[in-house]
Amino acid sequence: MWDYTDKVKEYFLHPKNVGKIEDANAVGEVGSLACGDALKLFLKIDNQGRIQDAKFQTFGCASAIASSSALTELIKGKTVEEARKVTNRDIAKFLGGLPKEKMHCSVMGQEALEAAIKNYLGEEAAKIELDGELVCECFGITDKKIRKAVIENNLKTVEEVTNYTKAGGGCEKCIPKIEEILAEVSNEYQPIPVIKTEPAPEKMSNIQRMQAVVKVIEDDIRPGLQMNGGDIELIDMEGTRVIVSLRGSCQECPDSQLTLKDFVQSGLREKVDPAIEVEEAE
């Protein structure tokens, strides 16, 4: 399970400003149900350009709901110009932090705000959103969106890009292009970081690795899947290669590969061994 702060839990279990503003004069919509996350933001802005009210409708995980709720609290009472300065980092900070794998939820909130403000100003937000070269076909992510996330959040790795944008979290065909964008941005904006050498971690034996994998699956991964009607079975292990079989609702879910990579593999890499590769049994 993700390590959520108390504030994230509060804003997920008791979200604020949920719903629709019937006479909203600014609406921003981002994401899609096909990608698993969607957010629609409604703003009521007065004649002085101040946000009187903000509400949201979202389809997504706990972090998406908490981030959307936090966003509305952050911008209510602000002028449009003040709200424009709110970033995804402000949303995450307001919540006391988000798991790195869920930072894309705060980015989605910032994008919805930008889209709503563009709508209020009469600009074509949808066309701007789609501008650029399509990099990740699985989630419809363009090179401009990736570059923006990399620059604003000082991202260094493909994994970080996936955490913030979802790009690379599906079939992984776009990973070489993401690496290319990271290299370009690094050359343009950032000096090459000095990497401090640290003692190599103690090598884990195969038996130790297997025991750790079993424990993480039983204690963390299986309960998370069972909450949504799914389950998982460990079939075999060959070194860092972990073969599993998804059960229940996960077996028929169209996003089963995303579950394997973003939830199962990510959890095992974080808590057992970063070299672990998870595969689904044939």
Q: Identify which of 98, 105, 108, 107 has the alpha carbon closest to the alpha carbon of residue 2.
A: 98
Same domain, 236 and 142: no
Indicate the number of domains in the chain. 3
| Secondary structure tally for the chain: helices H, strands E | 14, 8
CATH of the domain at 176: 1.10.10.1100
Same domain, 177 and 222: no
Please indicate, yes or no, if residue 201 is contained in any of the structural domains: no
In angstroms, the CA 166 to CA 161 distance is 7
Same domain, 148 and 50: no
Q: Identify which of 92, 99, 98 has the alpha carbon closest to the alpha carbon of residue 71.
A: 92
Same domain, 155 and 240: no
Active site residue 174: no
Length of the chain: 282
Same domain, 51 and 118: yes
Query: 204 is written with which tokens?
Result: 């884990």
Encode the chain (282 residues) as per-residue pLDDT tens digits: 457 889 999 998 899 999 999 999 999 998 765 555 789 999 999 999 999 999 999 887 788 899 999 999 999 999 999 999 999 999 999 999 988 878 888 888 898 999 999 999 988 644 444 467 878 765 678 888 888 888 888 889 989 988 888 788 767 888 999 999 999 888 876 555 555 655 555 677 778 888 899 999 998 888 888 887 888 888 888 888 999 888 887 777 777 777 788 888 988 999 988 889 999 887
Same domain, 182 and 68: no
Residue 240's domain spans which residues? 206-280
Catalytic residue from among 61, 105, 136, 171:
105
Residue 5: enclosing H or E segment and its boundaries?
A: none
CATH of the domain at 56: 3.90.1010.10
Please indicate, yes or no, if residue 144 is contained in any of the structural domains: yes
Please indicate, yes or no, if residue 113 is contained in any of the structural domains: yes
Active site residue 105: yes
Residue recorded with tokens 């919509």: 29
- DSSP-H helix ranges across 30-102: 62-75, 80-84, 88-94
For 194-204, b where at least 16 C-beta lie within 10 A, e where not — what string? Answer: eeeeeeeeeee
Is-contact 14 84, C-beta < 8 A?
no
Starting at the edge strand found earlier in the chain, the sheet holding 26-32 runs: 26-32, 37-45, 51-59
Is-contact 140 35, C-beta < 8 A?
yes
Q: What are phi and psi of 280, to 5 degrees?
A: -95, 135
Dihedral sign, CA of 13, 18, 160, 5? negative
